[in-house]
């Protein structure tokens, strides 16, 4: 086929003029736009506002990937955009509680948001259930049981309510009820991660570690990217002396959540168990790096240094572990009260004659100082005008007690102050000893809430042995004595005292 060339058309002068005008206008508007962009380069381009649904979808995706911190951030965005939507708050509270296991700030936020959720929707079973979980994971077991039982009442077909209730029953020592609740949770929803995990925890507590492994694996079959369940799984492999599987589980947990201090700690401690001390120290140091207030890692690292006879590095780590254990115990103090006691040298338990009492609450934004206003208790008018206040720095253990309007007692009686949910090393309620109220019916003094029940006994006597080997028995004796308060027959503490006494009795030669 032959294609002919097109003919050239003649130029039309009016057409040319029109095109020149269009080009000139285009150049003008282009220059103006460029000038505007140069003059105002930081004015943002209008963008549509993202919805709560968008952030929820994002959070759900991150959760499935195992990025719980990312999921928390996305859920928080969703809640900010739709604060009255409890269905957004519930999964957020759950994840805050999970990540709060090694982070007190997140744990407290989980409880705060859980309480807000039940206030917004008092008939919501999921809200009550997740609040119960948050309470339980923070050690507030009685409140957890109450919240979960309320959830079950509101919705007897809600599997997670029974799962969280089973965990709370386990922590409360009600194993028969825990078995029933765990069974119901699985019957209602065999594909529930929380139901399978709760059953695993129950089997673990009952010593059936093989069954616990099965339940934890079933939970991971449903959601294979949850670091905290790999930690549960690895722990039970250790009980079964399957060190290789335990290391694999803990390592997987650290891969999923590199900021999970308890996973790094467990991995390091497992290497310690097989005497690979160099690797143990590496992972334990990483645990401390990601969570500087995670006490177990300090204790384990101190022991790893001790077995290698590195006492200089063992001492600060064991000391920190004990300090953090004291701090954690003090943070759990619930109330303070003053009783009238018979005059005697020591007090084991408080009498029923409570004259002043008050519950602790945080007195500062950093949640370091606890405070309680003390008010009269009972109907005895002698203390109707009495009042007081106690403030305690949970980091240092120092506390101040102030009393006013306290009537003078007969010679055979005295006032004593007591802590609720804070015990001494001997597991007896911590008290102030006799309070000498002045002639003006007032009292003002400072005390120290230390030592208190919580440190591991081996941290105390091994730290004492470190001081012994460093020829510092003056610092070793109090630690051995503290260990003996926990267990009067602790052989290592008794031996430590004997070694120090023997060393001090040995005469030194003069060069």
Structure tokens at 41: 């380069």
Taking 70 as the threshold, does the pLDDT of residue 359 lie above it? yes
When computed from its CA atoms, the radius of gyration of the chain, rounded to whole angstroms, is: 32
The string of pLDDT tens digits covering residues 281-302 is 999 999 999 999 999 999 999 9
The string of pLDDT tens digits covering residues 300-309 is 999 999 999 9
pLDDT of residue 379: 82
Mean pLDDT of 145-168: 98
pLDDT of residue 439: 84
Contact (CB, 8 A) for 402 and 395 = no
Structure tokens at 420: 């609720």
Dihedrals φ, ψ of 421, to 5°?
65, 30
Structure tokens at 157: 């077909």
Per-chain mean pLDDT for the chain: 90
Mean pLDDT of 485-494: 97
Residues 6 or more apart in contact with residue 62 via CB below 8 angstroms? 68, 70, 71, 74
The string of pLDDT tens digits covering residues 414-423 is 999 999 999 9
Contact (CB, 8 A) for 158 and 195 = no
pLDDT of residue 507: 61
Return the bridge partners of 371, or none: 361, 391
Domain boundaries, the chain: 334-448, 458-505
What is the torsional sign of CA 131, 137, 139, 141? positive
The string of pLDDT tens digits covering residues 106-125 is 999 999 999 999 999 999 99
pLDDT of residue 89: 96
Mean pLDDT of 141-150: 97
Contact (CB, 8 A) for 340 and 437 = no
Mean pLDDT of 80-97: 95
Contact (CB, 8 A) for 125 and 93 = no
| Residue 344's pLDDT band (cuts 50, 70, 90) | confident
DSSP run (H or E) holding 339: strand 335-342
Structure tokens at 291: 């969570």
pLDDT of residue 27: 47
Overall residue count recorded for the chain in this entry: 511
Residue 49 DSSP label: P
pTM: 0.83
Q: Residue 116 class from Cβ within 10 Å (0-12 exposed, 13-18 middle, 19+ buried)?
A: middle
Taking 50 as the threshold, does the pLDDT of residue 11 lie above it? no
Contact (CB, 8 A) for 153 and 122 = no
69 vs 365, more confident: 69
The string of pLDDT tens digits covering residues 39-48 is 343 334 344 4
pLDDT of residue 2: 30
| Residue 508's pLDDT band (cuts 50, 70, 90) | low
Mean pLDDT of 430-440: 92
Structure tokens at 422: 């804070």
The string of pLDDT tens digits covering residues 14-66 is 444 444 454 455 545 444 544 444 334 333 434 445 789 999 999 999 999 99
Contact (CB, 8 A) for 476 and 467 = yes
Contact (CB, 8 A) for 370 and 360 = yes
Among residues 81, 202, 116, 471, which one has the least CA distance to residue 315? 471
Q: For residues 302 and 408, give the distance between their C-alpha atoms in angstroms, rounded to a whole number.
A: 50
The string of pLDDT tens digits covering residues 392-414 is 999 999 999 999 999 999 989 99
Residue 338 CB neighbours (<10 A) = 28
Q: For residues 192 and 213, give the distance between their C-alpha atoms in angstroms, rounded to a whole number.
A: 16
Dihedrals φ, ψ of 92, to 5°?
-65, -45
H helices of 82-174, in order, are 86-99, 104-120, 125-137, 141-154, 159-171
| Residue 13's pLDDT band (cuts 50, 70, 90) | very low
């Amino acid at each position: 086929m032959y294609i002919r060339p097109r003919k050239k058309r003649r130029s039309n002068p009016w057409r040319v003029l029109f095109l020149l005008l269009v080009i000139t206008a285009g150049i003008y508007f282009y220059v103006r736009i460029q000038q505007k962009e140069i003059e105002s380069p930081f004015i943002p381009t209008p963008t549509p506002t993202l919805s709560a649904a968008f952030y929820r979808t994002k959070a759900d995706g991150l959760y499935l990937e195992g990025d719980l911190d990312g999921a928390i951030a996305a859920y928080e965005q969703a809640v900010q955009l739709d604060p009255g939507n409890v269905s957004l708050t519930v999964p957020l509270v759950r994840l805050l509680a999970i990540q709060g296991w090694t982070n007190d700030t997140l744990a407290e936020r989980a409880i705060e948001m859980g309480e807000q959720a039940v206030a917004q929707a008092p008939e919501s079973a999921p809200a009550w259930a997740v609040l119960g979980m948050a309470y339980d994971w923070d050690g507030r077991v009685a409140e957890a049981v109450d919240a979960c039982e309320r959830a079950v009442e509101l919705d007897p077909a809600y599997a997670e309510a029974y799962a969280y209730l089973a965990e709370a029953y386990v922590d409360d020592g009600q194993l028969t009820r825990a078995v029933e609740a765990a069974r119901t949770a699985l019957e209602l929803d065999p594909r529930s991660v929380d139901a399978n995990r709760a059953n695993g925890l129950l089997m673990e507590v009952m010593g059936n570690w093989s069954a616990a492994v099965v339940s934890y694996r079933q939970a991971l079959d449903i959601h294979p990217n949850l670091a905290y369940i790999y930690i549960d799984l690895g722990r039970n492999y250790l009980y079964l002396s399957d060190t290789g599987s335990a290391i694999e589980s803990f390592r997987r947990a650290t891969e999923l959540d590199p900021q999970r201090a308890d996973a790094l700690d467990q991995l390091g401690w497992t290497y310690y168990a097989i005497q690979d001390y160099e690797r143990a120290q590496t992972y334990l140091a990483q645990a401390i790096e990601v969570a500087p207030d995670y006490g177990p890692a300090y204790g384990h690292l101190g022991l790893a240094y001790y077995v290698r006879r590195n006492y200089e590095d063992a001492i600060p780590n064991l000391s920190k572990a004990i300090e953090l254990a004291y701090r954690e115990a003090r943070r759990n103090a619930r109330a303070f009260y003053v009783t009238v006691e018979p005059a005697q040298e020591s007090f084991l338990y408080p009498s029923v004659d409570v004259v002043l009492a008050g519950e602790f609450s945080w007195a500062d934004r950093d949640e370091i100082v606890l405070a309680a206003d003390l008010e009269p208790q009972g109907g005895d008018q002698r203390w109707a005008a009495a009042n007081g206040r106690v403030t305690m720095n949970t980091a240092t253990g120092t506390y101040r007690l102030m009393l006013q309007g306290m009537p003078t007692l007969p010679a055979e009686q005295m006032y004593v102050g007591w802590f609720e949910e804070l015990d001494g090393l001997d597991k007896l309620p911590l008290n102030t000893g006799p309070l000498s109220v002045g002639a003006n019916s007032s009292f003002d003094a400072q005390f120290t809430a230390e030592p208190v029940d919580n440190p591991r006994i081996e941290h105390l006597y091994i730290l004492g042995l470190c001081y012994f080997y460093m020829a510092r028995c003056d610092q070793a004796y109090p630690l051995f004595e503290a260990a003996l308060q926990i267990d009067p027959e602790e052989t290592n503490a008794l031996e430590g005292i004997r070694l120090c006494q023997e060393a001090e009795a040995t005469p030194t030669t003069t060069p």
